[in-house]
Amino acid sequence: MKKSNLTENCSLSRIVHGQMRMAGWNMTDRELLRFLEDLIGLGVTSFDHADIYGNYTCETMLGDVLALKKGLRDKIQLITKCGIKLVSDKFPGRKVKIYDYSYDHIVTSVENSLKNFRTDRIDLLLLHRPAPFFDPPEAARAFADLKKQGKVLHFGVSNFTPDQFEMLQANTSEKLVTNQVEISPYCLEHFENGNVDFFLKEEIKPMAWSPMAGGKLLNPADRKGKRVLRVLKEIADELNVFPVDKVIYAWLLKHPAGFIPVIGSGKIERVRHAAEALDIGMSLEQWYSIFIAAKGEELP
């Protein structure tokens, strides 16, 4: 599997494995190790986390697995996020969920993630969500110190708009290498808010979370989902490609912005479908047929 080069010295696998739901897969450490080795065998070497995933447990779960096999850490890229403080039994004093991008919280979050993963570096740190209370120079100071100490190699954001991205970039000397946003044939938000145009203009390769739209495409409960699934099945027949989730991944992978799908399944077959979609040749008309189905109206 080819790598997706975000910068000259920052690359991710073309498909990223999302491990938000790892705590719910009910795998032993040994089973998780075999699963990770299967992922690496497919060429999927980049693993997406956040400090809050699994009620603050998923990072530690992965760290326990990495400890089982010396050298495995050097074969993968660790992505994690910080900034959200959940109301959790692990922090009983919190009354409401907040976003915290203070210097102290960013640095402390990274220190915790390093300990959880049992590693000395994070390959890519993302700010998890844009915050209404945000001091860009303070976040930038945390970035600079973490980079200088070798604790974080690269930085980016998640769910930011173009203006929010540019605001942070203007305050930090660290290049923001990606923006992880929700993109699927069901969710076209970032085609509409200027983000996709911004990615193309700035040559930023975005990570696409929830490419299956949380089940709204394969198990639709509304008219939009049913409409899109009907077109997806038609194109699957035209391409002789099954199951239909491969067509969804192919739709994302075809776009010149270089979308990097984040596949959050604990089943290796699902991830293999995404990898196999790299070889599907979808026509421009087929791509637009899916886009039009999602819009619910013809192009102007």
Residue of 53, 56, 186, 249 with catalytic role: 53
Give CA–CA dist 189/196, Å, rounded: 9
> Which DSSP category does 96 fall into?
S
Helices 284-295 and 245-254: angle between axes, nearest 10 degrees: 110
Bridge partners (DSSP) of residue 47 are 17, 78
Bridge partners (DSSP) of residue 127 are 82, 157
- From residue 120, alpha-carbon distances to 115, 141, 169 in Å are 8, 20, 26
Nearest to 276 by CA among 249, 255, 252, 254: 249
Residue 53 annotated as catalytic: yes
- Are 211 and 261 in contact by the 8 Å Cβ rule? The answer is yes
Beta strands in the chain (DSSP E): 3-7, 10-13, 16-18, 46-48, 77-82, 84-85, 98-99, 122-127, 152-158, 176-182, 207-209, 260-263
Cis peptide before 243 (omega within 30 of 0): yes
- Tokens 């447990």 belong to 57
- H/E stretch holding 158: strand 152-158
Q: Which amino acid is at 120?
A: D
Q: Kindly list the catalytic residues.
A: 53
